[in-house]
Amino acid sequence: MGRTAATDEQRDTATPATEAATTGSATAPALAIESLSKQFGDGENTVVAVDDVSLTVDPGTVVGLLGPNGAGKTTLIKCALGIVLPDTGAVRVFGSDVADSHQAAYANVDAMLEGARNDYWRLTVRENLRYFATIHGVDPASVATRHDRLLDRLNLADKADTPVRELSRGMKQKVSLASVLAGGADLVFLDEPTLGLDVESARTLRRELRRLAYEEGLTIVLSSHNMGVIEAVCDRVVMMTDGRIVADNTVSALLSAADRNVVRITSPDIDTALLTTLRSTFDVQAVESTSDGTRVDIAAGGDTLYAVMETLRADDVTIETIQTLKPELEDVFVELTGLAPEQAEQRSGSL
Ligand SMILES: Nc1ncnc2c1ncn2[C@@H]1O[C@H](COP(=O)(O)OP(=O)(O)OP(=O)(O)O)[C@@H](O)[C@H]1O
């Protein structure tokens, strides 16, 4: 899977250092889920949470799971982690089938579920990192530099010797993430990692996730309702609804495939009669009065733009401004999941 969807934030942190991780010796996928299904309850109360899902994640990539509430994201992650037993299907982690060798398969895997993990609040930040490295079988002294860098990058260095209980909620969450990364796992699952963080902390965290993937070859599977996070951090987006995958591609490929090119035209000459004509001929999506005249948004895929221009010319309309609005990930999400736009807005607003 290529990294064609690099945002500015991604480019800031991108280095070629992890090419080996994605193309070199590690030939097995970091995660391979094959035909996995999981249902809860029985009879009339049966809920099919995950329905025949297959997914392969390459080492050193960041894959985002996006979907409305109840789509099956958490269940899929829990099945991948062996916390929930699937009804059917297989999970392989770096080539090891988790059914054959549970302990070995998960040796280099860690997770932060539901935006937090159980850090020890009486311990200091650094003690937590050392503790979680130890339970991963890593001598904390051997990863002290890594811990310093993590604390530094997540702006926690000056809190390193402070007990976690004395930190703000956002800081606690950053400690949770640092703890997940402290043991040097090669694959981490992060469920809503930026939930509840302020804008600056969320940005810091996104940057660090990108850096860890690009520079250190960390593989990240991340679930979030926040499309800004998904767009900034992920190489690839997997959209789920009703337990199934409805899209699986790079952000840029999803955006360019979206059939939602909208042209925005502003003119003082657009009157009610012309608006009626436009509405009856085209897909007029919004109309607004501005200081430069009336502003109209029209869906303009294919040759529609030419037809719109022709209609305006026939009415002697002088155009003040014209621009094309690019589709956003949210539009693709709405299109593929069948959600109402306001539902998607609520989701993307919850940083
Ligand atoms: N332990 C359980 N018992 C019964 N039903 C469950 C259980 N866990 C999940 N479900 C159901 O499975 C479906 C998928 O839930 P899941 O939590 O995986 O979705 P999700 O995409 O993570 O949703 P959200 O974005 O709200 O976290 C839902 O209908 C949910 O109610």
For residue 309, give the CATH number of its domain: 3.30.70.100
User: Of 334, 332, 234, 223, which is closest to residue 346 (Cα–Cα)?
Assistant: 334
The span from the CA of 51 to the CA of 227, in Å, is 24
Q: Kindly give the distance from the C-alpha atom of residue 75 to the centroid of ligand 1, in angstroms, as a whole number.
A: 6
In a domain, 221, yes or no: yes
Residue 17 confidence (pLDDT): 36
> Span 104-125, mean pLDDT?
81
pLDDT at position 263: 87
Do 13 and 92 lie in one domain? The reply is: yes
ipTM attached to this prediction: 0.97
Is 211 found in the same domain as 99?
Answer: yes
**74-88 mean pLDDT:** 93
In a domain, 171, yes or no: no
Q: Answer yes or no: do 218 and 277 share one domain.
A: no
Q: Check whether residue 85 and residue 13 sit in a common domain.
A: yes
Tell me which of 17 and 337 has the higher pLDDT.
Answer: 337
Q: How far is the CA of 227 from the centre of ligand 1 (A)?
A: 20
Q: What pLDDT is attached to residue 90?
A: 95
Q: Would you give the distance in Å from CA 271 to the centre of its chain? A: 43
Any ligand 1 atom below 6 A from CB of 266: no
Q: Which atom of ligand 1 is nearest to the CA of 240?
A: 21
Burial tier of 273 (Cβ tally within 10 Å: 0-12, 13-18, 19+): exposed
Last residue of a domain, one of 256, 282, 311: 256
Helix (H, G, I), strand (E, B) or coil at 189: strand
Residue 142 lies in a domain: no
On the question of pLDDT at 341 being above 70, the answer is no
The three-state secondary structure class of 166 is helix
Residue nearest to atom 17 of ligand 1 (CA): 74
The whole-number average pLDDT for the span 160-172 is 91
Which numbered atom of ligand 1 lies nearest the CA of 114? 27
180 in a domain, yes or no? Answer: no
* Same domain, yes or no: 84 and 202: yes
Mean pLDDT across the chain, nearest whole number?
83
Report residue 92 as tokens.
């392989």
Q: Are residues 195 and 90 in the same domain?
A: yes
If one compares 201 and 48, the residue with the highest pLDDT of the two is 48
pLDDT of residue 251: 82
Q: Does residue 241 share a domain with residue 270?
A: no
Q: Is the CB of 47 under 6 A from ligand 1?
A: yes
Residue 298: domain span: 261-325
User: Residue 259 has what pLDDT?
Assistant: 58
Number of domains observed in the structure of the chain: 2
Task: State the CATH number of the domain containing residue 73.
Answer: 3.40.50.300
pLDDT attached to residue 119: 77
Q: State which of 231, 256, 281 marks the end of a domain.
A: 256
